[in-house]
Structures are given as structure tokens and as C-alpha cells.
Amino acid sequence: MIWQDLSTLYLQWPWMLLLLLLIPLFWWLYLNRLRQRLVQQALHFSYAAVVEQIKIAPPVWKRLLFPGAVSLIMTLLIVALSRPTISTQVPVNSADIMLVLDISLSMMANDIQPDRITAAKQAAIEFVESLPPDARVGLEFFAGSTYVVTPPVPQHQEVVGYLKALNLKDLKPRTEIGSALQAALQVLTPPGTSGQLPANKENQPAKKAPDRVIVLLSDGDSHEGFPWELAARQAKAANVTVYTIGVGSPEGGTITYQGLQLPVNFDETTLRETARLGGGSYFRVFKEADFRQVYDQIQKRTIHYEQRTVDLAFLLAGTALASLLMALGVAMVWL
């Protein structure tokens, strides 16, 4: 946010602030003219007439509203002329991110409070909401089948809405990590895509394409569906980075299924190898707070920033214009 970088504020033309000396001069002229008007009224009218004029005159705060508004507008314009500038970090390229969330029955285990799926879902929501506006994010659920909910889109709240709608009733049997990876890869690498954007009309060098990332959350290994080793290698070959997040505790947990209490384990071997083959990193989550740290790490590695200067002159000039229009509106009401 710009306001968090105000400590870097500096003025390109600080000598322009000398124009602020015009504001006391303006007040002196205004008050002097007001005093002269009162003196002239006292000379031309009787004492009783002057008293009656004072009674019907607007209150003091209304008299001072006009010069106060003028002073504010002058201050904003003069500060804008001094070219206030801050140094801030801005994203230099966008990113296409596919969140791939395991919705197998074992995700209802209670070894992470309140349960694995709820903790993972809430952390995913916070992650999506923290992304910069130009980052696109998509969503996929998987268990024994894959469900591409949405491809990467800039409308982050759309993805948040889908995540919020997920509940324990949506969980399904089996886990097919390889099929889930393959489906996400097909979304991120449609036919005809490459690692660079087209050159512009001035034959400038082609820009680097947005980073493409798969963030897969699961709590176990995979023995069914498309081979996960092949899917991970295909992702790396397509310049798509795969990050995996293991959800569970070393002791495992229990689930209630069809009236039975069933133990569920946590096996991170597949997830660790998937991340290694996919050119990314593996993270393990033991408790809900760990999700935030993991997502922060992934965002730092995915979203690239550059230190740039931002000129605030237009912002201040726009504020001055808005103040002027507001003052004119108030004046029209009172006239």
C-alpha cells in the first residue's frame, strides 16, 4: 500500500513550498477587507442600523468557510507543485496460480483444529485475498476425480466465494494427485502458449510471461489415476512450478465415516517428491497458523516486486479539484 511507504516521502521541487507564504497574505487581505467593510458600514449608517445589520449577518464560521476552503485548495495545489514522491514496491509481472485442494475424506481428520479441510480452506482464502490485483488465481478440487472450479482469473473474490462454499459434505473417497496435477497443468498451459509474451509494435524484446504456479494441498500419498511422477516432470518441462503443502500431524488423526471412527495417517513422501520433480518446494503444516507462513513463502517466491517511485502530485491535484467542486456546491446551496 502507498500509505505504508510514506516514510520514503521526498519533494522533487521543495522550493515550491515558498508559495505557501501566499496563504497568510491571502488571510491578511481578506480580514483587512472585512474590517474595512465594517468600518464603512459604521460611517454610513447609524449605530442602530449597524446593530441590525450585525444581527442578520451570517455567523462567523460561515464567514470563515470561504477563505478556509480557498486556503485548503491553495495548500493542496502548492504541495502538488512541489512534486511529492514516494518509493514503493510494485509487482513487475503478474502470476497465474492454480490452487489445487485435496477434498478426500481423510481431510476431515481432526489432528489440525477444527479439521484439516477447514483450516486449509481458511488459509487459502487469506492467501487469495493477499495477492496483488494483477495476479490471477484459479481453483481445483480433487479426490478420486478432479474438479476444475475456475481457471486463473483476476476476480479474486470469485475464488474466495467458491472456497467459502466448500464444506465437509463435499468430501469424497480416494486421492489421485497425479490426475489433479495433470488437470491443473492443462489449465495453465493451453495449446499454443510459450514462455514469452509477443513483441510489441515497436519491435521491443518480448517480455517474460507471467509465472505459472501450482499450489497443491493434500494429506496423503497417491496410488491411483495419472502417475504423479510424470505429471510433476511435465509441469517442470512446461515451466510451471509445483509447490506442495502437506496437511496433517505426525500422529495422524481420525475421521467419522458411515458411523465408524477410522484412523487416518499422513504420508508426505509423495508430496515431497512431487515438489522436487516439479521444481518447487514442499511445506509441511502441523497447525492452522503454519498455513499463513507457508503461503507467505510461496507468495514471496511467486510475486516479484520492484522498487519504483510514485509521484503523488496528481493525487493532491485531484483532491484539490474535489474540494473546489464541494465548496462550489455548498456555496450554491447557501446563495
Band (pLDDT 50/70/90 cuts) for residue 43 is low
Please list, in sequence order, all residues whose beta carbon lies within 8 angstroms of the beta carbon of residue 98, skipping any fewer than 6 positions away: 137, 138, 139, 140, 152, 184, 187, 188, 213, 214, 215
**Rounded distance between C-alpha atoms, residue 86 and residue 151, angstroms:** 36
Superfamily of domain 93-190+207-303: von Willebrand factor, type A domain (3.40.50.410)
Degrees to nearest 5, angle at CA 235 with 176 and 305: 120
pLDDT value, residue 205: 46
Give yes or no for residue 197 having a pLDDT over 50: no
Q: What is the pLDDT of residue 47?
A: 54
Q: Which of 97-101, 128-132, 189-193 has the highest mean pLDDT?
A: 97-101
pLDDT at 108 over 50: yes
Q: Which residue has the cell 520514503?
A: 8
Closest CA to 122 of 87, 164, 86: 164
Which stretch of DSSP H or E encloses residue 104? Answer: none
Q: Is 203 helix (H, G, I), strand (E, B) or coil?
A: coil
Q: Domain map of the chain by residue range?
A: 2-87+309-334, 93-190+207-303
User: Average of pLDDT values for 239-247?
Assistant: 92
Q: Quick one: DSSP state of residue 198?
A: P
- 138: phi > 0 → left, psi -120 to 50 → alpha, else beta; which? beta
How confident is residue 230, by pLDDT bands cut at 50, 70 and 90? very high
Question: Which of the four pLDDT bands, split at 50, 70 and 90, describes residue 216?
Answer: very high
pLDDT tens digit sequence for 110-130: 888 888 899 888 888 988 988
Give the 3-state secondary structure of residue 195: coil
Residue at 128: amino acid letter: V
C-alpha dist (Å) from residue 192 to 138, 188, 189, 257: 20, 11, 8, 45
User: How many CB atoms within 10 Å of residue 85?
Assistant: 16
Per-residue pLDDT, averaged over 4-23, amounts to 80
pLDDT tens-digit profile of 247-306?
A: 888 788 888 877 888 888 887 888 999 999 999 999 988 776 777 788 788 877 777 666
| pLDDT for the residue numbered 9 | 79
Lowest mean pLDDT among 12-16, 87-91, 153-157, 312-316: 87-91
Q: How far apart are CA 282 and CA 296, in angstroms?
A: 14
Asked whether the predicted pLDDT for residue 35 surpasses 70, the reply is: yes
Cβ burial of 110 (10 Å; 0-12, 13-18, 19+) is middle
pLDDT digits (tens, 9 = 90+) for 51-77: 555 554 556 556 677 777 788 888 888
Question: How far is Cα 231 from Cα 238, in angstroms, rounded to an integer?
Answer: 11
Distance CA 142, CA 184 (A): 10
Position 42 scores a pLDDT of: 59
Q: Could you tell me the three cell numbers for 111?
A: 489432528
What is the radius of gyration, based on Cα positions, of the chain? 32
Give residue 225's region: left, alpha or beta (phi > 0; psi -120 to 50).
left
